[in-house]
């Protein structure tokens, strides 16, 4: 199975507590799989690691949804956030890790661990630049 992410850009916004909130909205693309049903994706975890902030686990907002299957490719959309991360003034490189288990009645459980290099883009509001 080939795994790809639609984006490796995480957006950071300052919050009122003098920390940053991270937001990431990737689509996981699974090539060579059967159609993934919502309940088949288990133990989902997303990590972000970078020198300025250490390693953090993203919170998955709401549910994640497989939204399409065509030609042996499944697309799964996520809405991820992490609040109150150390304040950083500039953009920085990060490592993003996606982990999950596909537990299907059609096959034995399949563990996924996919890592990509990304960037955190810092967005400042006008009053804090």
Tell me the CATH number at 68. Answer: 2.60.40
Cα separation, 4 vs 37, in Å, equals 18
First to last CA, the chain: 44
Q: How far is CA 89 from CA 18, 26, 121, in A?
A: 11, 24, 10
Q: How many independent structural domains does the chain possess?
A: 1
72-87 pLDDT, tens digit each = 788 888 999 999 999 8
pTM: 0.86
State the Rg of the chain over Cα. Answer: 16
Domain residues for 89? 2-128
58-112 pLDDT, tens digit each = 988 766 767 667 787 888 889 999 999 998 889 999 999 999 998 887 778 889 9
């Amino acid at each position: 199975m080939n795994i790809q992410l639609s984006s490796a850009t995480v957006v950071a916004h300052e919050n009122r507590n003098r920390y940053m909130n991270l937001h990431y909205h990737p689509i996981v693309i699974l090539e060579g799989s059967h159609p993934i049903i919502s309940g088949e994706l288990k133990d989902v975890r997303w990590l972000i690691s970078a020198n300025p902030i250490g390693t953090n686990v993203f919170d998955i907002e709401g549910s994640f949804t497989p939204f399409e299957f065509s030609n042996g490719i499944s697309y799964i959309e996520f809405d991820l956030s992490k609040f109150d991360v150390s304040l950083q003034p500039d953009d920085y490189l990060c490592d993003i890790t996606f982990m999950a288990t596909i537990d299907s009645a059609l096959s034995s459980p399949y563990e996924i661990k996919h890592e990509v290099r990304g960037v955190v883009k810092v967005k400042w509001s006008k009053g804090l630049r």
